[in-house]
Chain A
Amino acid sequence: MTSIGTGYDLSNSVFSPDGRNFQVEYAMKAVENGGTSIGIKCKDGIVLAVEKIIQSKLLIPKKNKRIQTVDRNIGVVYSGLLPDGRHFVNRCRDECQSFKSIFKTMMPISNLMDRMGIYVQNYTCYNSVRPFGIVSIIGGVDNEDGEPYLYMIEPSGSYWGYNGAATGKGRQIAKSELEKLNYEELTCLEAINHAARIIHLSHEDNKDKDYELEISWCSKEHTGGKHQFISDDLLEQARKLAEEEEEEEDDDEEEEAGADDEEMAP
């Protein structure tokens, strides 16, 4: 089924003859151009990471944060249209605050997801609005049962829980790396190094531009379940490990290539 030029894609909330909403699918395209974001669920918490492409040397490193906190124990990272993302995060914060003001306790993450799912879905129902141009990864340690939760929500408003989630330009590479992890045993400290490595690998296709790494976590052991950015030391260490690993791989490849040459020689 062709997806463009049939006229069913010109306004939001219109079904095509096979039951699709093209405006929502185009919103996904906007997401696929954004920098890679990932989330990892560990046995003692969650880790969020994002690849920030450095658009200008004049931008100050470590300012312009992309990962945001919506409640003390919940973090959000997203790929796609950044202003849409900020709107999304503002709504998350409003929901958490209103829940707290009514129930006098912090909002369970599954409740937040229910409400945000409906909110995003609403933007697919009317032709006077457009869908959100973001895929968001939301994670945290739940206040209710103390368990870590990780969700990913799409422009259609559909969301599921994940062990590892990836979105943005390098999501394919990131997903295949995430599938290799053992989520039963993984700890947050290990996951930080994995996150740095996976972001580094997924940057491969976009190598002409430099990127800045941003990582945050909610760890029962290390942050008391609060959502925080990891310390500069940890970040530096993780990034170094990722780069060293890449160099080693390059060396291996060169050696192999060299060996082949020798065999080929008469």
Chain B
Amino acid sequence: MSNSAGFDRHITIFSPEGRLYQVEYAFKAINSANITSLGITGQDSAVIISQKKIPDKLLDPKTVSYIFKITPSIGMVATGSIADARAQAMRARSEATEFRYKYGYEMPVESLSRRMANISQLYTQRAYMRPLGVALTFIQVDFADEGRGPQIFKCDPAGYFTGVKAVATGPKQQEATTYLEKKFKKTDAVKGDWQKTVEFAIIALSSVIGTEFRKNDIEIGVATEGEFRILTPEEIDERLISIAEQD
């Protein structure tokens, strides 16, 4: 830790190599929940999938979730500290609501992602507040007349945000990104309807992590034209059965 001596205690301070250590440490916090999540584009849908872990027998599984509905059409998966995740979800909702009130139309996912990334950037430059230890993946499918189709954006604690075909977050990010890069080399989207895209997402996450999932091991959010919804365990089971039948 010789290089970081003293320069990593405060957000506003650059180290001699020009690094912001506190921001780098915030990225470590993203892996602390030990949950990996993916965002996948389909032809007319976008899907987010996240591992779901219930470590304590006394927990009520219904209340354990990292996927949030932000507006009727925008969904978000937040990977990292759950307290920070909920704070970000609340902020995103209020930003989207304010946008709707001010400008008279639903907030596009790109604008929301840019706004959330800008807020994160502030936390890397101002002393008063720490960065939040979560990475956010937003999805939305635009209305047909707007023409943008299915979209995925990822925002991180450094204030960086980017639109992607597919994206992974969490401890298995590296492996998952390699897997997705291979699959999306020649295509922009998973072929087929939203069910097919969900099945692709399940297979992708399952092979990266190296375990077979049951319906209570994962949670899934699906965006279709102008609508976002979270699948119930029964709906997830239907997709798992469909995958099993294809084998």
How far, in angstroms, from A126 to B130 measured CA to CA in the complex? 7
Q: Which has the most chain A C-beta neighbours within 10 Å: B4, B9, B131, B133?
A: B9
Contacts of B57 in A (CB 8 A): 179
Complex interface residues of chain B between 123 and 138 (CB less than 8 A to chain A):
128-133
Interface footprint category on B: 35 or more
How far, in angstroms, from A161 to B54 measured CA to CA in the complex? 11
Q: How far is the CB of A194 from chain B (nearest CB, A)?
A: 13
Interface footprint category on A: 35 or more
Report whether A121 and B86 are in contact in the complex, using a CB–CB cutoff of 8 Å: yes
Is B26 an interface residue when CB atoms closer than 8 A count as contact?
Answer: yes
How far, in angstroms, from A164 to B59 measured CA to CA in the complex? 8
Is B17 an interface residue when CB atoms closer than 8 A count as contact?
Answer: no
Is B142 an interface residue when CB atoms closer than 8 A count as contact?
Answer: no
The 5 closest A-B pairs by CB, nearest first: A19-B28, A161-B63, A157-B83, A19-B29, A15-B25
Contacts of A20 in B (CB 8 A): 29, 32
Report whether A15 and B130 are in contact in the complex, using a CB–CB cutoff of 8 Å: yes
How far, in angstroms, from A117 to B10 measured CA to CA in the complex? 25
20 A–B pairs (Cβ distance < 8 Å), ordered by A: A14-B10, A14-B22, A14-B130, A15-B130, A19-B30, A41-B60, A121-B84, A121-B86, A121-B87, A122-B87, A124-B83, A124-B130, A125-B132, A126-B128, A156-B83, A160-B63, A161-B60, A161-B64, A163-B59, A179-B58
Smallest CB gap from B123: residue in A: A125
Q: How far is the CB of A108 from chain B (nearest CB, A)?
A: 13
Q: How far is the CB of A176 from chain B (nearest CB, A)?
A: 10
Please, what's the 1-or-0 string for B10-31, where 1 marks a CB less than 8 Å from any CB in chain A?
A: 1000000000011001111111
Given contacts A19-B26, A114-B86, A118-B86, contact A162 B59 (CB under 8 A): yes
Complex interface residues of chain A between 1 and 59 (CB less than 8 A to chain B):
7-8, 11, 13-20, 41
Q: How far is the CB of A128 from chain B (nearest CB, A)?
A: 8
Number of A-B contacts (CB under 8 A): 93
Q: Which has the most chain A C-beta neighbours within 10 Å: B10, B26, B57?
A: B57
Is A178 an interface residue when CB atoms closer than 8 A count as contact?
Answer: yes
Report whether A165 and B58 are in contact in the complex, using a CB–CB cutoff of 8 Å: yes
Contacts of B131 in A (CB 8 A): 15
Contacts of A41 in B (CB 8 A): 60
Contacts of A213 in B (CB 8 A): none
Report whether B64 and A160 are in contact in the complex, using a CB–CB cutoff of 8 Å: yes
Is B82 an interface residue when CB atoms closer than 8 A count as contact?
Answer: yes
Contacts of B1 in A (CB 8 A): 17
How far, in angstroms, from A255 to B31 measured CA to CA in the complex? 52
Is A120 an interface residue when CB atoms closer than 8 A count as contact?
Answer: yes
Report whether B31 and A19 are in contact in the complex, using a CB–CB cutoff of 8 Å: yes
Smallest CB gap from B133: residue in A: A19
Please, what's the 1-or-0 string for B181-203, where 1 marks a CB less than 8 Å from any CB in chain A?
A: 00000000000000000000000
Given contacts A118-B90, A158-B81, contact A125 B129 (CB under 8 A): yes
Report whether A8 and B9 are in contact in the complex, using a CB–CB cutoff of 8 Å: yes
Given contacts A14-B130, A19-B31, A118-B87, contact A158 B82 (CB under 8 A): yes
How far, in angstroms, from A221 to B25 measured CA to CA in the complex? 51
Contacts of A162 in B (CB 8 A): 58-60
Is A175 an interface residue when CB atoms closer than 8 A count as contact?
Answer: yes
Is B8 an interface residue when CB atoms closer than 8 A count as contact?
Answer: yes
Contacts of B90 in A (CB 8 A): 114, 118
Smallest CB gap from B129: residue in A: A125
How far, in angstroms, from A8 to B22 measured CA to CA in the complex? 11
Is B62 an interface residue when CB atoms closer than 8 A count as contact?
Answer: yes
Report whether A13 and B25 are in contact in the complex, using a CB–CB cutoff of 8 Å: no
Contacts of B129 in A (CB 8 A): 13, 125-126
Q: How far is the CB of A134 from chain B (nearest CB, A)?
A: 15
Contacts of B27 in A (CB 8 A): 19
Report whether A178 and B83 are in contact in the complex, using a CB–CB cutoff of 8 Å: no
Report whether A161 and B130 are in contact in the complex, using a CB–CB cutoff of 8 Å: no
How far, in angstroms, from A15 to B129 measured CA to CA in the complex? 12
Q: How far is the CB of A129 from chain B (nearest CB, A)?
A: 11
Report whether A18 and B86 are in contact in the complex, using a CB–CB cutoff of 8 Å: no
Contacts of A122 in B (CB 8 A): 87
Smallest CB gap from B1: residue in A: A17
Q: Which has the most chain A C-beta neighbours within 10 Å: B59, B60, B131?
A: B60
How far, in angstroms, from A165 to B32 measured CA to CA in the complex? 23
Contacts of B128 in A (CB 8 A): 126, 128
Contacts of A7 in B (CB 8 A): 9
8 Å CB contact of B22 from A15, A114, A118, A175: A15
